[in-house]
Amino acid sequence: MTDDALAGALALVDRALEAYASDPAAVATLRGYRARLQEPLRVALAGMVKAGKSTLLNAIIGEEIAPTDAGECTRVVTWYRYGHTPRVTLVPVAGEPRSLPVRRTDGRLALELGGTPPEEVARLVVDWPAAGLRALTLIDTPGIGSLSTEVSERSMRFLLPEDTPSEADAVVYLLRHLHATDLQFLESFRDTAAGRSGTVNSLAVLSRADEIGAGRIDALVSARTVADRYRRDGGLRALALAVVPVAGLLAQGARTLSQAEFAALSEVAGLDRDARERLLVSADRFVRADPALRTTPQARQSLLDRFGLFGIRLAAVLLRSGVTEPTPLAHELARRSGLDALLRLLGDQFTARAAELKARNAVLGVETLLRERPAPDSDAVAAVLERLTARAHGLAELRLLAALRTGTVALPRERAADAERLLGGEGVSAGQRLALPEDAPADAVGPAAREALQRWRRLAESPLADRATVEVCRVVIRSCEALLAERSAPLTPGLVLTGD
């Protein structure tokens, strides 16, 4: 299924290259699409200023490289992609790309534009040898709805270009509180021609989730409830495949926890109850001079910056409940931060579908080209395109999934949920599509797939089914048939991007 879409898209672009051979601009565009099909999936992190994008990007990569908070570099789009050696390249709007020095302060990259004004920078490209970047290229975007409309516009132009397909294959959209600007953005992403059926390539993160519970230890539980509410009632269902709460700062700290930090956290955890509660009552109190502590106020300040009061409290609880080593502490903190759940979603929804998402973008690109610059041979290219979209079932699944999510196709709620799952809306593995328990034996797939197939065949043959329903049935039935045919395929989800 997967290879079909990718091979088909490559063949389509090659055919278009022939048709447009005498049009240098079109050739350059098409070559770009071709290269892109063979690169890792591009996932952009988007959201308002200070939503926690750069922090979350670091957490996903597992290294503290992206600069956070203000600075001119946070005003330009920055790509983080896999490379053997660290390298930073500035790509100007006009002129040749040039290398920038790779300088780090406290681990993070000190990205400076070397005199070029931000508005003359198309993007910065950071090549970095981080394992997490092998499967995904991550793109940090400047905040939307920022005080500077020019910065905000730059992000929107990147995510929603007017005349070309988006440069990102998928988007993780961070929101702190459901804000009108957030919804507006998600809606335009969904509706724009280039981002058509954007639902299938967006995930929403309720970011800085630790702040929702005012630093209480159960903050993530409250955040989960808020995220569930957003998903149900907030109009987000039509706009993103899932909404998950993540405490990005804690996640970043957990993935880069140092021995010294572990020692300092252990000292806090080892205090007697009264002293500990007094110390952790507020951020101010935590960093005050205290002769009873070995950890200096500066070190405590740094702990606070890296983990937040919530993270320090949580670490103290874990250390008191029997965690004794840095690695298990780091893992438990990452799990509780919500990062593991997000990585699993990225794996299930994006990485496992990378071929289809990339192919979809190439198809949109060729479609746009055919529409806007017809060539003598356009009809032949259009025919190849049509055959591809009809044949590549993965693309049909994405299209139908988006239609179901956005309510363009109306089905009774339970039926729609069944269809979405079978189409891979909760992950593309056989187990996820058939709602099998995680420990189900491989031979459970056959009977479950057959049952689903019969269920959807009955509906298709029902005299009450209208044309739209029959069309849904056709695609779902094909997904069931593919499950039966691929019974030997792995039961478990696709690649999960955990680091160490």
Ligand X SMILES: Nc1nc2c(ncn2[C@@H]2O[C@H](COP(=O)(O)OP(=O)(O)O)[C@@H](O)[C@H]2O)c(=O)[nH]1
Q: Does 154 interact with ligand X (rule: CB under 6 A)?
A: no
199 binding partner (options ligand X, Mg ion, none; Cβ < 5 to 8 Å by kind): none
Q: How far is the CB of 96 from Mg ion (least distance, A)?
A: 27
Asked if 51 interacts with ligand X (CB under 6 A), we say yes
Contact assessment for residue 37 and residue 57, using Cβ atoms and an 8 Å cutoff: no
Q: How far is 484 from 479, CA to CA, in rounded Å?
A: 9
Q: Is 185 helix (H, G, I), strand (E, B) or coil?
A: helix
Query: Which pairing describes strands 170-175 and 202-206: parallel, antiparallel, or unpaired?
Result: parallel
User: Could you write out the DSSP letters of every residue in 366-381?
Assistant: HHHHHHHS--TTHHHH
Question: Is residue 308 within the footprint of ligand X (CB under 6 A)?
Answer: yes
Burial class (CB in 10 A: 0-12, 13-18, 19+), 339: buried
Minimum CB separation of residue 209 from ligand X in Å reads 6
Q: Which of 393, 357, 400, 365 is nearest to 481 (CA)?
A: 393
Contact positions with ligand X (CB under 6 A) in 55-94: 55, 68-69
Residue with tokens 């010294």: 260
Mode of pairing for the β-strands spanning 121-128 and 104-105: unpaired
DSSP letter, residue 349? I
Question: In 337-444, which residue ranges form alpha helices assigned H by DSSP?
Answer: 339-345, 354-372, 378-391, 393-405, 413-422, 430-433
Binding mask 249-278 for ligand X (x = CB under 6 A): x-----------------------------
Inter-residue contact 248 to 226 (CB < 8 Å) = no
248 binds, among ligand X, Mg ion, none (CB under 5 to 8 A by kind): ligand X
Shortest Å, Cβ 218 to ligand X: 15
Tell whether residue 145 is a contact of ligand X (CB under 6 A): no
Binding site for Mg ion (CB under 5 A): 53-54, 74
Is residue 52 a contact point for ligand X (CB under 6 A)? Answer: yes
3-state helix, strand, coil in the chain (%, to 5): 55, 10, 35
Q: How far is the CB of 47 from ligand X (least distance, A)?
A: 6
Among the listed ranges 4-12, 49-57, 98-106, 123-131, the one in contact with ligand X (CB under 6 A) is: 49-57
| Binding residue (CB under 6 A) for ligand X from 143, 195, 245, 494 | 143
Ramachandran sector of residue 237 (left: φ over 0; alpha: ψ -120 to 50; beta: rest): alpha
Report the partner that residue 198 touches, choosing among ligand X, Mg ion, none (CB closer than 5 to 8 A by kind). Answer: none
The nearer residue to ligand X, 69 or 414, going by C-beta atoms, is 69
Give 45 or 452: the residue with its C-beta nearer to Mg ion.
45
Residue among 88 and 151 whose Cβ is closer to ligand X: 151
Q: What is the nearest approach in angstroms of ligand X to the Cβ of residue 107?
A: 14
- Chain residues binding ligand X by CB under 6 A are 47, 49-55, 68-69, 143, 208, 210-211, 247-249, 308
